[in-house]
Amino acid sequence: MTTKQQKIDILKSWHTIEFFQPYDLCETKTDIKITHGELRRLKNELLPWLSNNAKSQLKIPLSQKCQYVLYLGLFDKNEVTQFSELYLDDNATNNDISIAEIEERLDDEGQTCFAKLVLDNYGTPNFDDLSVSTLPWALGHLKNHSLDKLTYKEFQDACKLLTEALNRIRINLSKYPGNQEAPTLCANALIVLIDTLYAWAGFFPADTLNNPDKAFAFQLSCYPINKQAKIEDNHLKSKKIEAQTQEAQSNISKNKAENKAENKAENKAENKSRETIKEDISASESILPILNSFFIEDIEWAINTVSHSEINTALAQYLNTQPDKKPDLYTQEGLKLINKNLQPNLMPTGRWPSSLKHNMALMQQFAINTANLELKNGGILSVNGPPGTGKTTLLRDLIAHNITERAKILASFENSGDTLDSNGFPKECLCGFEMVVASSNNAAVQNISKELPQIKALGSEFRQIDYLKSVANQLAAKKCRLDSKDSLYEPLEGDQQCWGAISATLGRKSNCEEFINRFFFEKHFEPDSEKEKNRNFEFDFLNFWRWRKLIQVTSFSEAKNQFNAQLKEVAIHIERFNKILTLLQQLSNHRKYRHLTQIMDEAITYVVKHHEVSVPLKKVSMENKKISRNLTNEQQLCQVCLAQKPSLLTRLFMPRRYRQYRHKLTEIESRLQALNQQRLILDNIETDLNMIARLLANYPDIHLPDSNADIREADLQRNAFWQCPKINELRSKLFISALNLHQAWLKEVSHKEIFRKRIRELSHLLRRSNDISNREHLWQCLFMIVPVISTTFASMGRMFKQVRQNTIGWLMIDEAGQAIPQAGVGGILRARRVVVVGDPLQIEPVMTVPPNIINKLCMNKLGEIADDWNPLLHSLQQIADRGNGYGCKLNVMNKETWIGIPLWVHRRCVEPMFSLSNALAYNNRMIHGSDAQAIISKPLNDGQENYWLSSKGVCIENQYKIELGNDTQKLIAQIVRAKHDLSSVYVITPFKAVKKRLKQQLTEQELFNHLGTIHAFQGKENDIVILVLGCCPDNKGGAVWASSKPNILNVAITRAKKNFFIIGDPDVWAGKPYFREVVKKIKVV
Average pLDDT over residues 39-66: 93
Note whether 887 and 958 are same-domain residues: no
Report residue 258's pLDDT band, with 50, 70 and 90 as the boundaries.
Answer: very low
Per residue in 145-187, pLDDT (tens digit) is 999 999 999 999 999 999 999 999 999 999 999 888 899 999 9
**CA 285 to CA 801: how far, in whole Å?**
18
- Per-residue pLDDT for 993 more than 90? yes
Note whether 567 and 713 are same-domain residues: yes
Angle at which helices 556-589 and 594-610 cross, to 10°: 140
Query: Given 213, 232, 251, which residue is the final one in a domain?
Result: 232
Per residue in 227-254, pLDDT (tens digit) is 655 566 666 555 554 444 444 444 433 3
Per residue in 645-700, pLDDT (tens digit) is 877 777 777 888 878 877 887 887 878 887 787 888 888 888 999 999 999 999 99
Per residue in 1070-1083, pLDDT (tens digit) is 999 999 999 999 99
- Per-residue pLDDT for 419 more than 80? yes
Instruction: Output the average pLDDT for the chain.
Output: 90
Note whether 510 and 613 are same-domain residues: no
- Per-residue pLDDT for 94 more than 70? no
Note whether 622 and 714 are same-domain residues: yes
**CA 444 to CA 1004: how far, in whole Å?**
26
Report residue 285's pLDDT band, with 50, 70 and 90 as the boundaries.
Answer: very low
- Per-residue pLDDT for 361 more than 60? yes
If one counts every other C-beta atom within 10 angstroms of the C-beta of residue 421, the result is: 11
- Per-residue pLDDT for 70 more than 60? yes
- Per-residue pLDDT for 91 more than 60? no
Note whether 536 and 599 are same-domain residues: no
584 belongs to a structural domain: yes
What local confidence, expressed as pLDDT, does residue 484 receive?
63
- Per-residue pLDDT for 941 more than 60? yes
**CA 38 to CA 40: how far, in whole Å?**
6
935 in Cβ contact with 916 (< 8 Å):
no
Sheet harboring 379-384: ordered strands across?
Answer: 503-505, 788-792, 435-439, 808-813, 831-838, 379-384, 901-902
Note whether 372 and 494 are same-domain residues: yes
90 belongs to a structural domain: no
861 belongs to a structural domain: no
Average pLDDT over residues 1039-1066: 95
Q: Can you name the residues that pair with 671 across neighbouring β-strands?
A: none
Count structural domains, the chain: 4
Note whether 337 and 480 are same-domain residues: yes
Domain range spanning residue 964?
A: 931-1084
Note whether 675 and 767 are same-domain residues: no
Note whether 495 and 613 are same-domain residues: no
**Cα distance between the two ends of the chain:** 55
Measured CA distances, 679 to 354, 673, 686, 690 (Å): 48, 10, 10, 16
Note whether 712 and 730 are same-domain residues: no
What local confidence, expressed as pLDDT, does residue 284 receive?
29
Per residue in 440-463, pLDDT (tens digit) is 988 888 888 999 999 999 999 999
Note whether 594 and 658 are same-domain residues: yes
Average pLDDT over residues 383-390: 95
Q: Which residue, 506, 516, 502, is CA-closest to 786? A: 502
Residue 260 or residue 713, greater confidence: 713
277 belongs to a structural domain: no
1039 belongs to a structural domain: yes
Q: Is 498 helix (H, G, I), strand (E, B) or coil?
A: strand
What local confidence, expressed as pLDDT, does residue 442 receive?
85
Phi and psi angles of residue 873, each rounded to the nearest 5 degrees, phi first: -105, -15
- CATH at residue 1068: 3.40.50.300
Note whether 386 and 454 are same-domain residues: yes
285 belongs to a structural domain: no
891 belongs to a structural domain: yes
16 belongs to a structural domain: no
- Per-residue pLDDT for 705 more than 90? yes
Phi and psi angles of residue 646, each rounded to the nearest 5 degrees, phi first: -65, 150
What local confidence, expressed as pLDDT, does residue 921 receive?
95
901 in Cβ contact with 328 (< 8 Å):
no
If one counts every other C-beta atom within 10 angstroms of the C-beta of residue 105, the result is: 19
Residue 238 or residue 592, greater confidence: 592
Q: Which residue, 595, 601, 617, is CA-closest to 674? A: 595
**CA 659 to CA 678: how far, in whole Å?**
28
Query: Given 688, 718, 748, which residue is the final one in a domain?
Result: 718
Average pLDDT over residues 544-566: 97
Query: Given 718, 749, 764, which residue is the final one in a domain?
Result: 718
